[in-house]
Structure 1
Amino acid sequence: MLVALGCSLPGSYPSREALLDAAVEALAGEGLSVATRSSWWTSAAWPDRTAPAYLNGVVLVETALSADEVLAALHRIEARFGRVRAEPNAPRTLDLDLIAHGRTVLDGAVVVPHPRAHERLFVMGPLAQIAADWRHPVSGKTAADLAATATVGTDAKSVV
Protein backbone atom coordinates (compact mmCIF):
# COMPACT_ATOMS: atom_id res chain seq x y z
CA MET A 1 0.00 0.00 0.00
CA LEU A 2 1.25 3.52 -0.79
CA VAL A 3 0.62 6.71 1.18
CA ALA A 4 1.70 10.19 0.13
CA LEU A 5 2.50 12.76 2.83
CA GLY A 6 2.68 16.51 2.40
CA CYS A 7 2.61 19.75 4.32
CA SER A 8 3.26 23.43 3.79
CA LEU A 9 2.94 24.57 7.41
CA PRO A 10 4.94 23.09 10.32
CA GLY A 11 2.14 23.52 12.86
CA SER A 12 3.56 23.08 16.36
CA TYR A 13 6.70 21.37 15.04
CA PRO A 14 10.03 23.19 14.54
CA SER A 15 10.03 22.42 10.81
CA ARG A 16 8.02 20.77 8.07
CA GLU A 17 10.56 17.92 8.07
CA ALA A 18 9.98 17.31 11.78
CA LEU A 19 6.22 17.30 11.23
CA LEU A 20 6.42 14.77 8.39
CA ASP A 21 8.85 12.58 10.37
CA ALA A 22 6.34 12.57 13.26
CA ALA A 23 3.50 11.75 10.86
CA VAL A 24 5.45 8.74 9.54
CA GLU A 25 5.89 7.54 13.13
CA ALA A 26 2.16 8.05 13.81
CA LEU A 27 1.21 5.60 11.06
CA ALA A 28 2.28 2.60 13.18
CA GLY A 29 -0.21 3.56 15.88
CA GLU A 30 -2.99 3.07 13.32
CA GLY A 31 -1.91 -0.37 12.16
CA LEU A 32 0.13 0.93 9.23
CA SER A 33 3.67 -0.47 9.32
CA VAL A 34 6.11 1.58 7.23
CA ALA A 35 8.36 -0.69 5.16
CA THR A 36 10.27 2.13 3.44
CA ARG A 37 9.99 5.84 2.71
CA SER A 38 11.28 8.27 0.13
CA SER A 39 13.35 11.33 0.81
CA TRP A 40 11.40 14.57 1.26
CA TRP A 41 10.69 16.54 -1.88
CA THR A 42 9.93 20.25 -2.13
CA SER A 43 7.70 22.02 -4.62
CA ALA A 44 6.00 25.37 -4.99
CA ALA A 45 2.41 25.71 -3.82
CA TRP A 46 -0.30 25.31 -6.42
CA PRO A 47 -2.33 27.08 -7.70
CA ASP A 48 -1.21 30.03 -5.52
CA ARG A 49 2.55 30.05 -5.97
CA THR A 50 2.86 32.82 -3.33
CA ALA A 51 1.66 30.43 -0.59
CA PRO A 52 4.26 28.48 1.43
CA ALA A 53 6.08 25.74 -0.50
CA TYR A 54 5.18 22.10 0.11
CA LEU A 55 7.27 19.27 1.43
CA ASN A 56 6.18 15.81 0.23
CA GLY A 57 7.13 12.17 0.37
CA VAL A 58 5.78 8.67 -0.10
CA VAL A 59 5.80 5.64 2.19
CA LEU A 60 5.31 1.99 1.36
CA VAL A 61 3.08 0.56 4.08
CA GLU A 62 2.14 -2.95 5.12
CA THR A 63 -1.29 -3.42 6.71
CA ALA A 64 -4.18 -5.81 7.06
CA LEU A 65 -6.64 -2.89 6.95
CA SER A 66 -9.06 -2.40 4.06
CA ALA A 67 -8.84 0.71 1.87
CA ASP A 68 -11.72 2.44 3.71
CA GLU A 69 -10.14 1.60 7.10
CA VAL A 70 -6.81 3.02 5.90
CA LEU A 71 -8.46 6.22 4.70
CA ALA A 72 -10.23 6.65 8.05
CA ALA A 73 -6.91 6.11 9.86
CA LEU A 74 -5.19 8.72 7.66
CA HIS A 75 -7.94 11.25 8.42
CA ARG A 76 -7.54 10.60 12.18
CA ILE A 77 -3.81 11.26 11.93
CA GLU A 78 -4.39 14.45 9.92
CA ALA A 79 -6.79 15.69 12.60
CA ARG A 80 -4.26 14.99 15.38
CA PHE A 81 -1.73 17.08 13.46
CA GLY A 82 -4.10 20.03 13.18
CA ARG A 83 -5.34 19.56 9.62
CA VAL A 84 -8.17 21.96 8.83
CA ARG A 85 -10.11 21.41 5.59
CA ALA A 86 -11.03 25.03 4.85
CA GLU A 87 -10.70 25.30 1.08
CA PRO A 88 -9.08 23.16 -1.62
CA ASN A 89 -5.32 23.63 -2.09
CA ALA A 90 -5.03 25.87 1.00
CA PRO A 91 -1.80 25.76 3.05
CA ARG A 92 -1.98 22.88 5.54
CA THR A 93 -0.16 21.17 8.36
CA LEU A 94 -0.62 17.66 7.01
CA ASP A 95 -2.07 15.96 3.98
CA LEU A 96 -2.13 12.15 3.84
CA ASP A 97 -3.36 10.52 0.63
CA LEU A 98 -3.98 6.86 -0.05
CA ILE A 99 -2.26 6.47 -3.41
CA ALA A 100 -2.79 2.73 -3.91
CA HIS A 101 -3.98 -0.26 -1.92
CA GLY A 102 -2.31 -3.18 -3.66
CA ARG A 103 -3.89 -3.74 -7.07
CA THR A 104 -7.33 -2.70 -5.76
CA VAL A 105 -9.41 -0.39 -7.95
CA LEU A 106 -12.36 1.33 -6.23
CA ASP A 107 -14.53 4.18 -7.49
CA GLY A 108 -17.06 4.88 -4.76
CA ALA A 109 -16.86 6.56 -1.36
CA VAL A 110 -13.19 5.53 -1.38
CA VAL A 111 -11.29 5.95 -4.64
CA VAL A 112 -8.11 3.98 -5.29
CA PRO A 113 -5.80 4.37 -6.94
CA HIS A 114 -5.73 8.09 -6.14
CA PRO A 115 -7.33 9.78 -9.17
CA ARG A 116 -4.67 12.48 -9.68
CA ALA A 117 -1.46 11.08 -8.14
CA HIS A 118 -0.15 9.87 -11.51
CA GLU A 119 -0.08 13.51 -12.74
CA ARG A 120 1.98 14.83 -9.81
CA LEU A 121 5.77 14.81 -9.80
CA PHE A 122 5.76 15.48 -6.04
CA VAL A 123 4.08 12.05 -5.65
CA MET A 124 5.53 10.03 -8.54
CA GLY A 125 9.09 11.30 -8.01
CA PRO A 126 9.27 10.10 -4.40
CA LEU A 127 7.44 6.89 -5.33
CA ALA A 128 9.93 6.21 -8.12
CA GLN A 129 12.73 6.59 -5.54
CA ILE A 130 11.42 3.70 -3.45
CA ALA A 131 9.56 1.59 -6.04
CA ALA A 132 10.47 2.63 -9.59
CA ASP A 133 8.90 -0.54 -11.02
CA TRP A 134 5.57 -0.12 -9.20
CA ARG A 135 2.78 -0.27 -11.76
CA HIS A 136 -0.33 1.88 -11.68
CA PRO A 137 -3.29 -0.51 -11.22
CA VAL A 138 -5.26 1.08 -14.09
CA SER A 139 -2.74 2.36 -16.66
CA GLY A 140 -0.06 -0.26 -16.03
CA LYS A 141 2.63 2.44 -16.28
CA THR A 142 5.55 2.32 -13.85
CA ALA A 143 6.21 4.95 -11.20
CA ALA A 144 9.37 5.91 -13.09
CA ASP A 145 7.42 6.42 -16.33
CA LEU A 146 4.73 8.43 -14.53
CA ALA A 147 7.36 10.62 -12.86
CA ALA A 148 8.92 11.32 -16.26
CA THR A 149 5.58 12.43 -17.72
CA ALA A 150 4.04 14.22 -14.70
CA THR A 151 2.41 17.55 -15.55
CA VAL A 152 1.70 18.97 -12.06
CA GLY A 153 4.38 20.09 -9.62
CA THR A 154 7.09 19.77 -12.21
CA ASP A 155 9.41 21.91 -10.08
CA ALA A 156 9.47 19.16 -7.40
CA LYS A 157 12.90 17.99 -6.34
CA SER A 158 14.40 15.85 -3.61
CA VAL A 159 15.88 17.75 -0.68
CA VAL A 160 17.68 14.66 0.67
Structure 2
Amino acid sequence: MSVSTEIPEGDLDLDSAVIVALGCNDKGVWASCEESLEAALARFRAEGIDILARSSWWSSKAWPDPTDPPFLNGVVVVRTEHEPGALMTRLSRMEDVFDRRRSVRNAPRTLDLDLIAYGRLSGDLEGLILPHPRAAERLFVMGPLAEIAPEWTHPVAGESAAALAATCVVGVDARPVPAKAGV
Protein backbone atom coordinates (compact mmCIF):
# COMPACT_ATOMS: atom_id res chain seq x y z
CA MET A 1 0.00 0.00 0.00
CA SER A 2 1.50 3.35 -1.01
CA VAL A 3 0.79 5.71 1.85
CA SER A 4 2.43 9.04 2.46
CA THR A 5 2.31 10.40 5.97
CA GLU A 6 3.64 13.94 6.04
CA ILE A 7 4.85 15.05 9.42
CA PRO A 8 2.55 17.83 10.66
CA GLU A 9 4.53 20.95 11.42
CA GLY A 10 5.45 21.10 15.09
CA ASP A 11 4.86 17.36 15.67
CA LEU A 12 8.53 16.42 15.36
CA ASP A 13 11.77 18.21 15.95
CA LEU A 14 13.34 17.68 12.53
CA ASP A 15 16.75 18.51 14.04
CA SER A 16 16.53 15.23 15.95
CA ALA A 17 15.01 13.19 13.10
CA VAL A 18 16.37 9.71 12.47
CA ILE A 19 15.86 8.91 8.79
CA VAL A 20 16.05 5.49 7.14
CA ALA A 21 15.79 4.80 3.41
CA LEU A 22 14.46 1.49 2.12
CA GLY A 23 14.95 -0.07 -1.29
CA CYS A 24 14.33 -3.31 -3.18
CA ASN A 25 14.84 -4.50 -6.74
CA ASP A 26 14.87 -8.27 -6.15
CA LYS A 27 11.58 -9.52 -4.69
CA GLY A 28 13.20 -12.72 -3.43
CA VAL A 29 10.55 -14.94 -1.79
CA TRP A 30 7.96 -12.14 -1.76
CA ALA A 31 5.27 -11.63 -4.40
CA SER A 32 6.67 -8.16 -5.16
CA CYS A 33 9.20 -5.62 -3.96
CA GLU A 34 6.33 -3.68 -2.39
CA GLU A 35 5.37 -6.72 -0.33
CA SER A 36 9.01 -7.15 0.74
CA LEU A 37 9.32 -3.51 1.81
CA GLU A 38 6.00 -3.60 3.68
CA ALA A 39 7.20 -6.73 5.52
CA ALA A 40 10.41 -4.92 6.43
CA LEU A 41 8.44 -1.97 7.83
CA ALA A 42 6.31 -4.39 9.85
CA ARG A 43 9.49 -5.75 11.43
CA PHE A 44 10.83 -2.35 12.54
CA ARG A 45 8.91 -2.37 15.84
CA ALA A 46 10.37 -5.75 16.83
CA GLU A 47 13.82 -4.19 16.31
CA GLY A 48 13.03 -1.30 18.66
CA ILE A 49 12.37 1.17 15.85
CA ASP A 50 9.10 3.16 15.82
CA ILE A 51 7.95 4.64 12.52
CA LEU A 52 6.79 8.24 12.92
CA ALA A 53 6.22 9.02 9.24
CA ARG A 54 6.64 7.22 5.94
CA SER A 55 6.71 8.20 2.31
CA SER A 56 4.88 6.57 -0.53
CA TRP A 57 6.87 4.09 -2.59
CA TRP A 58 8.94 5.54 -5.41
CA SER A 59 10.03 3.68 -8.53
CA SER A 60 13.25 4.29 -10.47
CA LYS A 61 15.62 2.57 -12.83
CA ALA A 62 18.44 0.69 -11.16
CA TRP A 63 21.59 2.71 -10.66
CA PRO A 64 24.29 2.62 -11.88
CA ASP A 65 23.17 -0.21 -14.22
CA PRO A 66 19.71 0.56 -15.63
CA THR A 67 19.54 -2.94 -17.15
CA ASP A 68 19.14 -4.37 -13.63
CA PRO A 69 15.54 -4.66 -12.35
CA PRO A 70 13.96 -1.30 -11.38
CA PHE A 71 13.98 -0.21 -7.75
CA LEU A 72 11.19 0.53 -5.34
CA ASN A 73 12.28 2.99 -2.65
CA GLY A 74 10.85 4.86 0.29
CA VAL A 75 11.89 6.78 3.38
CA VAL A 76 10.77 6.64 7.00
CA VAL A 77 11.37 8.95 9.91
CA VAL A 78 11.78 6.85 13.03
CA ARG A 79 12.28 7.07 16.78
CA THR A 80 14.63 4.66 18.50
CA GLU A 81 16.65 4.31 21.67
CA HIS A 82 19.47 2.69 19.67
CA GLU A 83 22.63 4.72 19.19
CA PRO A 84 23.65 5.14 15.50
CA GLY A 85 26.04 2.16 15.39
CA ALA A 86 23.56 -0.14 17.14
CA LEU A 87 20.77 1.05 14.83
CA MET A 88 22.91 0.31 11.78
CA THR A 89 23.61 -3.17 13.18
CA ARG A 90 19.85 -3.77 13.53
CA LEU A 91 19.22 -2.55 9.98
CA SER A 92 21.98 -4.81 8.61
CA ARG A 93 20.54 -7.77 10.51
CA MET A 94 17.14 -7.08 8.96
CA GLU A 95 18.75 -7.11 5.50
CA ASP A 96 20.24 -10.51 6.33
CA VAL A 97 16.85 -11.83 7.47
CA PHE A 98 15.46 -10.71 4.09
CA ASP A 99 18.21 -12.71 2.35
CA ARG A 100 20.26 -9.74 1.14
CA ARG A 101 23.29 -11.02 -0.78
CA ARG A 102 26.39 -8.85 -0.90
CA SER A 103 28.09 -10.09 -4.06
CA VAL A 104 29.18 -7.06 -6.08
CA ARG A 105 28.61 -3.40 -5.33
CA ASN A 106 25.17 -2.14 -6.46
CA ALA A 107 23.95 -5.66 -7.27
CA PRO A 108 20.17 -6.25 -7.13
CA ARG A 109 18.99 -6.62 -3.54
CA THR A 110 16.01 -8.00 -1.68
CA LEU A 111 16.28 -5.27 0.94
CA ASP A 112 18.50 -2.23 1.25
CA LEU A 113 18.28 -0.19 4.46
CA ASP A 114 20.38 2.96 4.73
CA LEU A 115 20.68 5.22 7.74
CA ILE A 116 20.40 8.62 6.06
CA ALA A 117 20.61 10.85 9.12
CA TYR A 118 20.64 10.59 12.88
CA GLY A 119 19.63 14.00 14.15
CA ARG A 120 22.32 16.59 13.44
CA LEU A 121 25.22 14.14 13.79
CA SER A 122 27.85 14.40 11.10
CA GLY A 123 31.20 12.79 10.48
CA ASP A 124 32.74 9.35 10.69
CA LEU A 125 31.35 7.53 13.72
CA GLU A 126 33.57 4.46 13.88
CA GLY A 127 33.06 3.64 10.21
CA LEU A 128 29.47 4.87 9.96
CA ILE A 129 29.42 8.13 8.02
CA LEU A 130 26.54 10.47 8.82
CA PRO A 131 24.66 11.91 7.18
CA HIS A 132 24.75 9.28 4.43
CA PRO A 133 27.43 10.64 2.08
CA ARG A 134 25.47 10.26 -1.17
CA ALA A 135 21.85 10.68 -0.08
CA ALA A 136 21.65 14.38 -0.96
CA GLU A 137 22.28 13.68 -4.65
CA ARG A 138 19.76 10.83 -5.00
CA LEU A 139 16.18 11.66 -5.98
CA PHE A 140 15.01 8.20 -4.84
CA VAL A 141 15.98 9.32 -1.31
CA MET A 142 15.39 13.07 -1.30
CA GLY A 143 12.10 12.84 -3.21
CA PRO A 144 10.43 10.55 -0.67
CA LEU A 145 11.98 12.51 2.21
CA ALA A 146 10.71 15.80 0.78
CA GLU A 147 7.27 14.19 0.55
CA ILE A 148 7.09 13.63 4.33
CA ALA A 149 9.49 16.22 5.75
CA PRO A 150 10.14 18.91 3.12
CA GLU A 151 11.66 21.29 5.68
CA TRP A 152 14.18 18.78 7.05
CA THR A 153 17.61 20.36 6.65
CA HIS A 154 20.67 18.35 5.66
CA PRO A 155 23.19 18.59 8.55
CA VAL A 156 26.14 19.30 6.22
CA ALA A 157 24.71 20.81 3.03
CA GLY A 158 22.36 23.11 4.97
CA GLU A 159 19.65 22.66 2.32
CA SER A 160 16.10 21.44 2.89
CA ALA A 161 14.95 18.04 1.61
CA ALA A 162 12.69 19.86 -0.86
CA ALA A 163 15.57 21.97 -2.22
CA LEU A 164 17.87 18.95 -2.46
CA ALA A 165 15.18 16.93 -4.28
CA ALA A 166 15.00 19.69 -6.89
CA THR A 167 18.74 19.45 -7.60
CA CYS A 168 19.42 15.70 -7.43
CA VAL A 169 21.64 14.26 -10.16
CA VAL A 170 21.24 10.51 -9.48
CA GLY A 171 18.01 8.61 -10.04
CA VAL A 172 16.34 11.57 -11.69
CA ASP A 173 13.69 9.26 -13.15
CA ALA A 174 12.40 8.43 -9.64
CA ARG A 175 8.65 8.99 -9.28
CA PRO A 176 6.01 8.13 -6.68
CA VAL A 177 4.10 4.95 -7.46
CA PRO A 178 0.42 5.76 -7.96
CA ALA A 179 -1.82 4.46 -5.18
CA LYS A 180 -3.79 1.37 -6.12
CA ALA A 181 -7.47 1.91 -6.85
CA GLY A 182 -9.68 1.05 -3.90
CA VAL A 183 -6.81 1.02 -1.41
Name the structure 1 match of 2:70: 53
Distance in 2, matches of 1:138 and 1:89, equals 25
Name the structure 2 match of 1:103: 120
Name the structure 2 match of 1:23: 40
Larger radius of gyration: 2
Q: After the TM superposition, which residues 2-41 of structure 1 pair with which residues of structure 2 at under 5 Å, given as runs?
A: 2-41=19-58
- How far is 1:28 from its partner? 1.0
Matched, 1:112 2:151: no
Distance in 2, matches of 1:27 and 1:99, equals 16
Matched, 1:72 2:89: yes
- Please report the RMSD computed on the Cα atoms of aligned residues, expressed in angstroms: 0.7
Instruction: Point out where structure 2 has 5 or more consecutive residues left out of the alignment.
Output: 1-17, 179-183
Name the structure 2 match of 1:83: 100
Secondary structure of 1:87's counterpart equals coil
- How far is 1:139 from its partner? 1.3
TM-score relative to the length of structure 1 = 0.98
- How far is 1:106 from its partner? 2.7
- What percentage of residue pairs aligned between the two structures are identical? 54
Aligned length: 160
Secondary structure of 2:147's counterpart equals helix
- How far is 1:140 from its partner? 1.1
1:82-117 CA deviation, whole Å, 9 max, x = no partner? 001111111110000000001111314111100000
Distance in 2, matches of 1:47 and 1:79, equals 23
Instruction: Point out where structure 1 has 5 or more consecutive residues left out of the alignment.
Output: none
Q: Which moved more, 1:57-66 or 1:99-108?
A: 99-108
Matched, 1:151 2:149: no
Q: After the TM superposition, which residues 121-140 of structure 1 pair with which residues of structure 2 at under 5 Å, given as runs?
A: 121-140=139-158
